[in-house]
């Protein structure tokens, strides 16, 4: 019997994942990954409640349950990386790094060491012989967050929810009596629940006020509390009153200045060519050609031509910030992607 270790977060997706695998005849062990337990001011980290929910489902399903403590590795590989990227003025995606470094590397290795043949998670994606494909539910598809996983890891991974929609998942969980069936999806950063990125970063970086400058006129139009907290295309949180809204069109980390414009057509907001770094291909070696790309989660797929480490777009894309990921598709196959330089 194939032994599968399921990453159980305490949510409905991973709960149903475990239930379906039990029904399909696998030898299932549930695993809660203890990645983050730190409270934030005014907000208690929900890890203990999530652990209790995951354990409750495991008991209901009659499967073994374990806790893997990855907190030190997580802090080093994901949290420190994220903070350093923001300090450098870039816009990282910690969920992508979490999948690359923790779920499909450290967790996979630990599961195999414990005797597992495969791992499974509640991601909305499909995998066939190590090839990553988009989920049936385009609205919930999570391949954007999985593009840095290796083909070797995917060969040992199951995504049982790839064929279902979220409403179907909740209905199936309810039919099986899973206590997490109606539990709301977690929002915010992957490891701090309901807290926003600004509140999280504020615990690690000093808030240093600086000038908000109108790019067209060169005039100071406001004051911000740290250029680190702003990203390209941002409109909210500027506190610059009157008239048409301002958008962030750039920033200078050394001067701690944020540049804004009321012109949505400002050239700084739009990219025809996107230079990539740290390009990762899930299977095979890099290859130039015509693809579709996604510039952020849930953004529409748009055609692009890859030449070396440059993506050329027929239609320019808005607010493509350094540090964010561009994910590359060939039809419904996610072939890889890279990080914007």
Closest CA to 156 of 127, 119, 123: 119
Given this model, what pLDDT does residue 192 score?
Answer: 58
Third-level CATH fold of 207-261: SH3 type barrels. (2.30.30)
N-to-C CA span, the chain: 46
Q: What is the mean pLDDT of each run of 10 residues along the chain (341 residues)?
A: 97 98 98 92 86 98 98 96 96 95 98 98 97 96 98 98 97 98 79 72 92 96 94 88 88 97 94 97 90 96 97 96 97 97 96
Domains of the chain, residue spans: 3-197, 207-261, 270-340
pLDDT at 188: 59
Question: Given this model, what pLDDT does residue 193 score?
Answer: 56
Distance CA 207, CA 199 (A): 11
| Of 319, 221, 201, 228, residue with least CA distance to 270 | 319
230 burial level (CB within 10 Å; 0-12, 13-18, 19+):
buried
Strand order in the sheet with 118-120: 64-69, 27-34, 3-7, 118-120, 157-158
Joined together, the tokens standing for residue 42 give: 């005014």
Q: How far apart are CA 212 and CA 241, in angstroms?
A: 12
Q: Model's pTM, two decimal places?
A: 0.95
CATH of the structural domain 3-197, one choice from 3.90.280.10, 3.40.50.620, 1.10.540.10, 3.40.1360.10: 3.40.50.620
Name the phi and psi angles at 104, rounded to 5.
-110, 20
pLDDT of residue 54: 98
CA neighbours within 13 Å on the CB side: how many for 44?
A: 5
* CATH ID of 270-340, from 1.10.260.40, 2.60.40.1180, 3.20.20.150, 2.40.30.10: 2.40.30.10
Q: Which residues are catalytic?
A: 98, 190
Integer Cα distance of 82 and 77 in angstroms: 9
pLDDT at position 189 is 62
pLDDT (0 to 100) of residue 244: 86
């Amino acid at each position: 019997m194939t032994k599968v270790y399921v990453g159980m977060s305490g949510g409905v997706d991973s709960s149903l994942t475990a239930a379906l695998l039990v029904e399909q005849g696998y030898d299932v062990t549930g695993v809660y990954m203890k990645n983050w337990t730190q409270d934030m001011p005014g907000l208690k980290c929900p890890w203990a409640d999530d652990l209790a929910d995951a354990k409750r489902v495991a008991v209901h399903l009659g499967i073994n349950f374990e806790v893997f403590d990855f907190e030190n590795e997580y802090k080093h590989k994901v949290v420190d990386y994220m903070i350093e990227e923001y300090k450098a003025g870039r816009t990282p995606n910690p969920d992508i790094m979490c999948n690359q470094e923790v779920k499909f590397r450290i967790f996979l290795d630990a599961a195999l060491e414990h005797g597992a043949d495969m791992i499974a998670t509640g991601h909305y994606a499909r995998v066939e012989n190590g090839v990553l494909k988009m989920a049936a539910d385009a609205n919930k598809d999570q391949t954007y967050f999985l593009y840095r996983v290796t083909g070797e890891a995917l060969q040992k991974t199951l995504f049982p929810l790839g064929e279902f929609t979220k409403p179907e998942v909740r209905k199936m969980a309810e039919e099986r009596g899973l206590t997490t069936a109606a539990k709301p999806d977690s929002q915010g950063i992957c490891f701090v629940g309901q807290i926003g990125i600004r509140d999280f970063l504020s615990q690690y970086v000093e808030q240093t006020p600086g000038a908000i400058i109108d790019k067209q006129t060169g005039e100071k139009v406001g004051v911000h509390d740290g250029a680190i907290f702003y990203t390209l295309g941002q409109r909210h949180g500027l506190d610059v009153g009157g008239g048409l809204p301002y958008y962030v069109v750039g920033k200078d980390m050394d001067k701690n200045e944020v540049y804004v414009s009321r012109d949505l057509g400002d050239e700084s907001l739009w990219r025809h060519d996107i230079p990539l770094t740290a390009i990762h291909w899930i299977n095979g070696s890099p290859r130039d050609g015509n693809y579709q790309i996604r510039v952020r989660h849930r953004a529409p797929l748009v055609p692009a031509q890859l030449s070396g480490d440059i993506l050329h777009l027929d239609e320019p894309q808005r607010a493509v910030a350094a540090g964010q990921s561009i994910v590359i598709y060939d039809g419904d196959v996610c072939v890889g992607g890279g990080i914007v330089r």
